[in-house]
Structure formats: structure tokens, C-alpha cells
Chain A
Amino acid sequence: MAALDSDSDEDLVSYGTGLEPLEEGERPKKPIPLQDQTVRDEKGRYKRFHGAFSGGFSAGYFNTVGSKEGWTPSSFVSSRQNRADKSVLGPEDFMDEEDLSEFGIAPKSIVTTDDFASKTKDRIREKARQLAAATAPIPGATLLDDLITPAKLSIGFELLRKMGWKEGQGIGPRVKRRPRRQKPDPGVKIYGCALPPGGSEGSEDEDDDYLPENVTFAPKDVTPVDFTPKDNVHGLAYKGLDPHQALFGTSGEHFNLFSGGPEETSNLLGDIGVNKGRKLGISGQAFGVGALEEEDDDIYAMETLSKYDTVLKDEEPGDGLYGWTAPRQYKSQKESEKDLRYIGKILDGFSLASKPLSSKKVYPPPELPRDYRPVHYFRPVVAATSENSHLLQVLSESAGKPTNDPGTHSRHQLNACKRGELLGETPIQGAPTSVLEFLSQKDKERLKEVKQATDLKAAQLRARSLAQSASGSRPQPSSPDVGHCSWHMALSGGTATTRTSNFKPFAKDPAKQKRYEEFLVNMKRGQKDALERCLDPGMTEWERGRERDEFARAALLYASSHSTLSSRFTHAKEEDDSDQVEVPRDQENDVSDKQSAVKMKMFGKLTRDAFEWHPDKLLCKRFNVPDPYPDSTLVGLPRVKRDKYSVFNFLTIPETASSPVTQASSEKVPQHRGSDKSRKPSRWDTSKEEKKEDSISEFLSLARSKVGPAKPEPSPSVNKEEERAMESVSNKVVNKDVDSQTEGEGSRPSMDLFKAIFASSSDEKSSSSEDEEGDSEDDQEGTREADSKSSQETDLAEASSVAQASEPAPQEPAPFFPIQKMQIDEREAFGPRLPPVFCPNARQKLEAPLKEKHKKNKEKHKTKKEHKRKKEKKKKHRKHKHKGKQKNKKAEKSSSSESTDSSDSHSEEGPADLSPQELLRRLKRLPLRRQ
């Protein structure tokens, strides 16, 4: 402590702390009495002798945690900004300075770490471990840990290795010499004294000289001789009680356990085994043998005579210890022989193998045939089209793949019904009870009629899909759109394998899926009875009919759904094993009519979809906007749950799509042709029209063969539509209502019917519950209303629900059904893009008794009025919630439309068959907001 007093003379050197200079008139301070003198540390705390971790009782700030201000957490540090500074808290962070000081438990003096230390272990850790081992419930439990230690190399080893050094080599520049012989020649025996080390190399020079001169070798490895001075008074090589072994012998040299020989190991392990009762496992020979201990034999196990050389013999030449005869730890001759084989140092954690590795037998490579060319030849990949399906089949057969022939089922592909069929059993009648049996006779008849219609339709569908697949194989003109389309078509007409691998509509029911695949295969081969052949004969007629319809639809659907599915790949958000998917309740409409509207520059109602959309509550808050749906927990578009693998799922999408639930645009977006719905057009589908006309003749003829009365005439759609619009001016009311109704029913009836019968209860329940939870009741009403409105076939829905309840339909005259159905079916059979070619039908409609039509109209209006009333109610209900401009406008509009019911009714439906002029006229009538 030499403080230089700068103020005073610089020549003087003063030692110690100077007293503070006394001020004038101040009384000299009393010295502090001895009992009051305390030692404090730099922070003013009483000096302690222990830190918190080393037994100190006054931890922290005066026996509290934290600081003077109380417990303060370390201030928050953003991990974003100082990511690099973020450190994991170690025990040091909780230690006092005392603990870190020289005498604490974690002294901060610089020591070499394990990486650089050669062999010495961390002593403290070692001690702690030994203590833990001794006091552990199972003594010696750490034995296993000792046995299994990670091979850890010191940093020197690693550095050397990086420099190219290998285990067993010496260090230094490579030298030009012959490789040292690793093993002594077994035949040569040297008696007497070992040769001097230099001589061995010289002798090696004499024999084999096949190595070229320019090859250098690593220098010989030198095993350092451990010259530990003997500093005790024991006899030579006597080892007293090993302090490590005193604590169960869990020392660092754990591999000595085994290399030490059998006696030693057994001894050690035996100790552990016997002395289980003892807390401290001090054992060892120095303590003699206890009264209860049996084993008496090798009291001086450490030094057997076998450890000493009794015979003068040559040391192993690879040892490097030429002539050095210090006692080694091997005991038996066998062991020494073992050591003989290996010259290098034994790695930490390794021991010598007791058995030599059996050398692997090396087989010569196979002889190549003479004409072998080392280039692989690929079989030509044959694109799968319907034309070359036979070629494909042949190819696949030649490749040894089993074809999907329905006749050659393997054992595992058969189900019970098929096995029964093969065995000649009669199909079980009782088991698959049909729903039909629960129906009344009248309903049965009606269902039968419907079913016939669907059968017919299925046949037509099949015809169409056949025609499609046929047309798909045709060469197409190569504009980009058409190119895409032809690819599309080729896919639709592609092999069953590609199809099924991509699209499995019946994945839930493997048997059904199989039948469906069969059906595809058959259809591709052009077999006309494809459907009938693949259907399960064990099923009831009703089931078969249903399945037939489903298959046909699914086959058609693949083409359409493919484009929609592939248009947007997203990750599966739902778990795959859940059976239901959430589908947006409202979806944007098909773009086809919108495209035409865009082309005609008729933006507005035609190009606009409006949906109910629920913003997040927080989003509303952030935007300073009142929540439009304060009661709803929904976010985004309202969603409904649908069966995942159901075909209905795919079928219903277009149907719901055409029903915007909110009445923002009270005029409905045009309904599509029924057949159009099953096919969701993508952007690329515009050119499909031309294609259709290509194949028109084909499938017309097919259809004609199926359906007698239908005689459609293909004609450009626009003209036809205009014609129709003109025509409709005269008999608008009559024609259009019937028309739109048929259109609305187009794709639905069978499905609706099926749903009502098969899936109704669960589906309705789920959707309604969803609505309830999601929204208030008026919304639910809205959905129902919209649904019924959009489908525009309340009558049929009613009928089906009635059928489900097994009650006779009260208000709907039954005879309408078949006629209607026939019309629908014919419609649906002839493609989405076809113009209204059903002149015979139209005529038929006109010819039908007017009375019935009026009745129908009246009914139609009645239902519509009901809807409107509902709508009004809803509007009132909502109006107090939010008074949007638009809403009011809507209300006006709908009230006005109420007064002019008939005219409005047909403006509400299907502008699809309106002429552009008509549309324009109507648009002009609408109130515009221009500035």
C-alpha cells in the first residue's frame, strides 16, 4: 500500500494511509474502541467468512434476497435487440463475491480446463462424485457411469489430428524409410538380449525393398517412459490401499477394472455386492479381512509373482521399451500376448479386444457377361391415355405388376360378399336393411321414380364421361389455354392409377374405393357396363343405385375438382384423422358469368359478391370501429362443418356458393345450370366450350341411345340465349319460373334426397349447432332462408324431408316429380356449356297444362313471399344494430320489390338467360351513385 502523496514533496515516499488533516478548532476524534471495530467489506456489509453457497447464513442483502431496494428482478432486456448478449444464468450469478474469491467454492483463479489438461481430472468434481456414489441409495450406482464415458480427447490430440497426425504415429516430419514392421515375424525367435533400437531399423532395411524411394513415412511413435520417482518406503511395485478404491474403487482408471484381471474385478465387484449394508465402502486389503467376510484368498492381490518377470525373455519389440524391465500390469502370459499385438497407446475408455477380429472374407466381384454395357436402358414411358391403355397393360404385365383386373383378385382384395359370391352362396338378405323398408308404400313408389330418374341420369353421366375421356385423347390445338385444357382432359381421361392416387373420394370406405377404382378402370377400357360390373352384388338395389350415382359423379368430379384443388395448395390445417372439414359457408361464385359480365363491361351487381364477414374484435378496437357482430365469436367468413370424404362435400360447394347469405345485394347472383355446378370452372376452363363442341356429336349419339325423347340441337349459346330472352318477353312469367326452377334443381335432387335419408340428422345437427354457437339466431335464420332460397327447390326439399318422416306429402302433388326429374336429367346430361337446346323440352313445357303451371307459379310466389317477409323481419332486427346506408337502401329495394312481386321475382333469378340488352336495361334502371 504505497500511496504517493502528490501534493507534498515529490522526493518523499510515504507509506500507509495518511491521517486526515485536522481542521482548526476541531476536537481530535476519539479512537473507536476495539469492540466497536468491525470489519466490513467494500459494500459496507459485515465481513463474513462464508458466502451464501459455502454455508454463509447472511445471504444477499442483510439476510434478504436482493438489494437495498428489496427484491428487484434483473431489468428486462429485449432479446430482439441484444440477442447475442443473452446469457444463460449459471450458479455464479447467484453467488456472492465471497464464493468467487480465493477461498470460496468457486475460486476464479485461472486453471487449465479439461480440454487442455492431460489426464488429471477435476478433483473437486471427482470427490463430489465419489461422495455421491458412496451415499447413493444404490451404492456403486455410478459405476456404470464410469464405465461409459465419452471418448474425450485433449485439445492437443485434436490439434495434432487436424494436422494430419494419426493415432499410432509419431510426431515430426515425415521421414524416408521403410515402414516399421508392426509385428515380429512369428517364425523368427530371438534369444538373448534384445537388439538395440537402432539395430531393428537397420535390420529392416535389409529385407523387403519393394517400396519406391519417394515414399515417406510418419516417424515412429515413441511411448514415453514414465519415470516416476519412488518416494515411498514400500517394496518395489507395492501398491498400498488405493484411496480411490477406498470409495468403491470408482477411480478414473475405470478400464483397469477389466484389464486388471479376473481376480481383481471379481474382488471389486464382490466387495460392492457383499458390503451393501455398509454405508462407507472402505474396503481393501490393507484393512485385513473382516469376521463376516469369507474371501480370504488374495490378500496381497496387488502383487503376485506373476507380475514380475521370472524368465529372461525378449520384450515385445513394438513396445518401444527395449530393454526396460519395469514391472507391467499384466499377470498372465496370455495377457502379455494380448498386449503384444498392439503397440500403440490404448485410448482412454477402450480396452483391448480379447479375441482378434476374424478377418472378413473377401469375395471376388462377379464376372461380367461379355456383352454387358454399363449404361442403364430405361423402358419407354408410355403416357397413359385411353388409346394405349392396352399397351400400358402389356407393359405393366411384363413388369410383373398385377393388373387391376376385376377377375383376378388376390385373396386379400376380396371382401366377404365377394368370397360368398365365389363360393356360390346366396347373398345375405337380412343384414343390409334398407331404409326403404321403413317407408310407406307411397313414398316407396315416389322414391322408385326418383331412383329411375337418377339411374337414367347416371347412365347419361357415364356416357358423358366416356365421351369426355374419348375427346381427351384427341390431339388439341395448342394455344396456351387449350394446352392446359388438353392436359386437363387428358388427366380426366387418364388411367385409373393416376386418378386414384390423386383423388380418393371414398377413402373412408376402402371397399368402396376399390369398387370405384374398378369402375374407373372399366370405364377407361370403354366397357359400357362399367358401373354394373364393378358394383357389389351383395348390396341392395337401393344401395347400388346410390353408389352408381356417386361413382358417376365422382368420376366426373375428378376433372373439375382437380382444377380447383390444384389451384391452391395449402398446408393441411386440420388433422387428417378428423372426419370433418370446415368449409366456408359462402364462397365466391363461379367466374364464368362474371367473365362475360366483365367482357361486356357490366361491372356492379354481376361482378360483385357480398358476404357476411366477421372482423376480429381486437381489429375493430384497433380501427376504432364498433364491432358489427358484438354477439358473435366467429372470425372471418362463417364456416360450416362438412364430412371430409363425402362426395357431398364436393358436390355442395357450388350450391352454397351461389347463395350469398347477406342480403346486401337483394338481387341474386345468377344461378347456374345444374350441370354447370358439378364442374367448377377455373380460369383455364374458358376454352372448354370449344372442346365440348368437339365431342358433342359423340356424346349426343350416346345420349340418344340412352334417352329416347331428347333431341338436342347444338347451337352457339349466345344466340340461343338471345333468342330465348326474346321469347321470354312474351311468356316471361310462365316460362322463366319453370325454367329457373328446373335449373335450380339441376344437380341437387338426388343428393338432397340422399342427404335427407342418409345423412340428414347428423349433418343438420352439426351445422345448426355450429350456427348457434357462432351466431345469433337471426343469422341462423338467414342461413336457412338463404339455403332454401338459393336452392329454389323447397318443394323437393320438403318432399324429401317428408319422405324421411314417412308422411304423405300434403301440399305437393306427386305427379310433378317424374316429369320434373326427366327434364332435369336431360339437362344435366348435356354439359354445362351447351345452350338451352331442349327445344322439345321447352315445347313440352309449353304444351303442359297451363293450369298446373299457374298453380306452380302461385306456390312459387307464396314461398317467395314468405322469404321476403322473413327478410324484412331480419332487416328490422338488424337495423338497430347498425344503420348502414346500404342496408337502408336494400330495405327500400326489397319493399319496392314486394309491391311488384311478379316482375321482381324473375329479376331475382337467373340473369343467365337474360340477353345483354335486357341486363343493360335493368342496370340502367338501378340507382347509380356517380360523382
Chain B
Amino acid sequence: GRRPSNPAWCSPVDGNYCLTCGSDKTLKLWNPLRGTLLRTYSGHGYEVLDAAGSFDNSSLCSGGGDKAVVLWDVASGQVVRKFRGHAGKVNTVQFNEEATVILSGSIDSTIRCWDCRSRKPEPIQTLDEARDGISSVKVSDHEVLAGSVDGRVRRYDLRMGQLFSDYVGSPITCICFSRDGQCTLVSSLDSTLRLLDKDTGELLGEYTGHKNKEYKLDCCLSERDTHVVSCSEDGKVFFWDLVEGALALALPVGPGVVQSLAYHPMEPCLLTAMGGSIQCWREETYEAEGAPG
């Protein structure tokens, strides 16, 4: 697989666990600080492309090449539900804030909202406005942010009942909200990260220097929104100052493509994935530990 592993901080609240998924059709729950494997969740038929954890750490969701979205019970390791309906690979999955809905974005250019509460097999709603595959989906308390390969960032505002579509032009690989919820960070295949004002769609900052031409690489903001972090195809992780846009650090990770990364929600701690292994980076006072993926 192109993405052998893909870390995600399983617990967005305290960041004690990390979740990886990969081409071995399993999800793995780790303690990233110690590098110990806590649990393996198997049940997918193909590679697992994305996974996310719920706010209370009680359930996980994942999506993969088998076009299915799976809801897992963390403790028992069982598949709670399997949602089928996507016509293509599921690129990205997210819980909403209360873990009542799973939003999954697929290569079939739809986002489907699956209800975790009822037992209906159909999604609550299918957002099929995109013209090409969905590469990234993020959810806030009342918005769904979706980046698509058709070069648009769509924000569905449930409270306002509106859809805002921002044209970026180049296929979008990753999007995320800033932690204050005012901006969106958009990375696209023209090797550029853009910080857009969420409400108006204006460009607040542009970050270049890394290389992102062909792969779906991740980007994120640091724990206090001070830095913009992005993977790069040249084996480094780039840090930019959010306000000034200047390159703060190019962290050499390894020889290959840094496929994915995740930033700790509270602490300056970064997980990177490269070639089947996950690395955990911390400040110099900590020592870096590697965990085999």
C-alpha cells in the first residue's frame, strides 16, 4: 500500500493513545510514549486508510479499501457496526463531536453521514456536491469541512444551512480547522499550504518549501496554533511560523516520503509515519522513541 501506516491520536482530549492503520487490514492502538502495542483491531477486508477515535475513547471508526466504514468498540475489539454504501475506497473518516455520527469521505466523491445511534444501514445524508474524490474531512461542532480532489474546499454549515465552496485549484490533500475554529488550513498538490479565513475564504497565509506533488500527505497545526506542520515527499517534516509564514524547521525524518503525521492535542509532540514505522517526536528534554508499525 501507499500508506502503510497512518497515525492518529486516538484520544483527542488527553492524547494518551495513538491509533495506526495500514495495509495489513488492521488498526493498532498504541501507547506512543512507551511504544507498546495495546490492541489490534482486525476486520477490514482491505487496507485501512483512515481511523479516528471518539471523544470518550470508547469507540473507534475506520474506513478503508473495502469501501466499508467500521465502528469499533475499543475495549472488546469487536466490530460494532459496518457501514456499507460507498462506491469506492473510503479515504477519510471522522466522528462528530459527540461520536453520534461518522462522516466518511470516499473516492466516490461523496461524504456520507452514518448514524451510530440507530441501526439503519443507510447514511443519514450523503453530501455529493464534490466533483471528484474526497481526500479529507474534518468536523467541528456544527460544520463539516471537506477537501476534494476537484480543488475545492467545501464547508457545510449545519447551523446556517449553507454550503461554502472555496476554490483552491489544485487537488486538495488535507484540510484542517485551526484550534480556535476561525481558519482552515488547506494543503494541495501544488506544494502549497494555505491558511484561509473560515468565514470569508480569504487567504491569510501561504506556506511553501515542502514537496507535495503526488501523494496525499497530511498537514496540521501545532498544539497552540503557533506553527503549521506538513509532511513532505522529501522525507522531512516542515514547520512554518503561522503568522509570519517563515519556515521554522525542516525536520529530517528519513529517506522516504513522510506519509502522515499527527500532532498531540495538548503537548508539543508529533507522530510521523514513514515506510511502515511510526516515530514519536518530542522536545529535546524528552527522548524520541520509535515504535514499529
Task: Write the residues of chain A forming the contact surface with B, with a CB cutoff of 8 angstroms.
Answer: 80-81, 567-568, 571, 584, 588, 591, 594-595, 597-598, 601-605, 607-616, 618-620, 622-629, 635-637, 662, 664, 683, 882, 884-886, 926, 928-931
Among the listed stretches B32-40, B61-69, B124-132, B272-280, which one makes contact with chain A, having 4 or more residues with CB under 8 Å of it?
A: B124-132
Task: Write the residues of chain B forming the contact surface with A, with a CB cutoff of 8 angstroms.
Answer: 78-79, 81-82, 87, 96-98, 100-101, 109, 113, 115, 117, 124-129, 131-132, 141-142, 151-152, 156-169, 180, 182-183, 194, 196-197, 199-204, 206
**B109, A568: Cβ atoms under 8 Å?**
yes
Chain B: minimal CB distance from A169 (Å): 47
26 cross-chain CB contacts under 8 A: A571-B87, A584-B129, A588-B165, A588-B167, A591-B169, A601-B203, A605-B200, A605-B201, A607-B201, A608-B201, A610-B163, A611-B163, A613-B157, A613-B162, A615-B161, A618-B115, A619-B124, A619-B125, A620-B158, A636-B127, A636-B128, A882-B159, A882-B161, A926-B200, A929-B197, A929-B199
Which of A603, A612, A613, A624 makes the CB contact (< 8 A) with B202? A603
A885 / chain B contacts, CB cutoff of 8 Å: 199
A635 / chain B contacts, CB cutoff of 8 Å: 125
Which residue of B has the minimal Cβ distance to A882? B160
**B109, A628: Cβ atoms under 8 Å?**
no
Chain A: minimal CB distance from B41 (Å): 15
A81 / chain B contacts, CB cutoff of 8 Å: 78
A571 / chain B contacts, CB cutoff of 8 Å: 87
A613 / chain B contacts, CB cutoff of 8 Å: 156-157, 161-163
Task: Given A626-B159, A636-B128, A886-B199, output 18 extra A-B contacts at Cβ < 8 Å.
Answer: A568-B109, A568-B131, A588-B129, A588-B165, A605-B200, A607-B167, A607-B168, A608-B166, A611-B162, A612-B161, A613-B161, A619-B101, A619-B113, A628-B159, A628-B162, A636-B129, A882-B160, A931-B180
Give CA–CA (A613, B167) in the complex, Å: 18
Give CA–CA (A626, B158) in the complex, Å: 8
Give CA–CA (A604, B124) in the complex, Å: 31
**B96, A622: Cβ atoms under 8 Å?**
yes
Chain B: minimal CB distance from A622 (Å): 4
Give CA–CA (A616, B203) in the complex, Å: 31
Which of A603, A623, A629, A886 makes the CB contact (< 8 A) with B142? A623
B163 / chain A contacts, CB cutoff of 8 Å: 610-613, 637
**A591, B167: Cβ atoms under 8 Å?**
yes
Give CA–CA (A607, B153) in the complex, Å: 10
Give CA–CA (A629, B162) in the complex, Å: 10
**B98, A624: Cβ atoms under 8 Å?**
yes
Give CA–CA (A627, B81) in the complex, Å: 27
Chain B: minimal CB distance from A531 (Å): 34
Which of A588, A595, A604 makes the CB contact (< 8 A) with B203? A604
A886 / chain B contacts, CB cutoff of 8 Å: 160, 199
**B100, A622: Cβ atoms under 8 Å?**
yes
**B162, A594: Cβ atoms under 8 Å?**
no
Chain A: minimal CB distance from B173 (Å): 16
Chain B: minimal CB distance from A535 (Å): 37
A595 / chain B contacts, CB cutoff of 8 Å: 167, 169
**B82, A80: Cβ atoms under 8 Å?**
yes
B201 / chain A contacts, CB cutoff of 8 Å: 603-605, 607-608
B125 / chain A contacts, CB cutoff of 8 Å: 615-616, 618-619, 635-636
B162 / chain A contacts, CB cutoff of 8 Å: 610-613, 628, 662, 664
Which of A80, A608, A619, A662 makes the CB contact (< 8 A) with B158? A619
Give CA–CA (A628, B158) in the complex, Å: 7
- Known: A620-B158, A629-B161. Contact between A608 and B200, CB under 8 A? yes
**B160, A884: Cβ atoms under 8 Å?**
yes
Chain A: minimal CB distance from B219 (Å): 17
Give CA–CA (A584, B81) in the complex, Å: 33
Give CA–CA (A620, B101) in the complex, Å: 10
Chain B: minimal CB distance from A846 (Å): 35
B157 / chain A contacts, CB cutoff of 8 Å: 613
**A598, B159: Cβ atoms under 8 Å?**
no
B160 / chain A contacts, CB cutoff of 8 Å: 628, 882, 884, 886
Give CA–CA (A457, B67) in the complex, Å: 50
**A622, B124: Cβ atoms under 8 Å?**
yes
- Known: A81-B78, A611-B162, A613-B156. Contact between A594 and B142, CB under 8 A? no
Give CA–CA (A618, B166) in the complex, Å: 26
Of A595, A882, A884, chain B has the most CB atoms within 10 Å of the CB of: A884
Chain B: minimal CB distance from A925 (Å): 13
Give CA–CA (A628, B161) in the complex, Å: 5
**A598, B167: Cβ atoms under 8 Å?**
yes
Give CA–CA (A607, B154) in the complex, Å: 12
- Known: A619-B158, A886-B199. Contact between A610 and B141, CB under 8 A? no
- Known: A595-B169, A619-B113. Contact between A567 and B131, CB under 8 A? yes
**A622, B166: Cβ atoms under 8 Å?**
no
Give CA–CA (A623, B98) in the complex, Å: 8
Of A584, A609, A662, chain B has the most CB atoms within 10 Å of the CB of: A609
A588 / chain B contacts, CB cutoff of 8 Å: 129, 152, 165, 167
Of A629, A637, A683, chain B has the most CB atoms within 10 Å of the CB of: A683
**B129, A618: Cβ atoms under 8 Å?**
no
B109 / chain A contacts, CB cutoff of 8 Å: 568
- Known: A618-B115, A929-B199. Contact between A603 and B164, CB under 8 A? no
**B78, A604: Cβ atoms under 8 Å?**
no
A584 / chain B contacts, CB cutoff of 8 Å: 129
Question: Which are the 8 A-B pairs with shortest beta-carbon distances?
Answer: A628-B161, A613-B163, A603-B203, A604-B202, A608-B201, A616-B125, A594-B167, A607-B167
Chain B: minimal CB distance from A835 (Å): 23
Give CA–CA (A467, B60) in the complex, Å: 59
**A623, B158: Cβ atoms under 8 Å?**
yes
B98 / chain A contacts, CB cutoff of 8 Å: 622, 624
B124 / chain A contacts, CB cutoff of 8 Å: 616, 618-619, 622
A929 / chain B contacts, CB cutoff of 8 Å: 182, 197, 199-200
Which residue of B has the minimal Cβ distance to A608? B201
Give CA–CA (A701, B26) in the complex, Å: 66
A614 / chain B contacts, CB cutoff of 8 Å: 161
Chain B: minimal CB distance from A332 (Å): 67
Give CA–CA (A594, B170) in the complex, Å: 12
Give CA–CA (A467, B257) in the complex, Å: 48
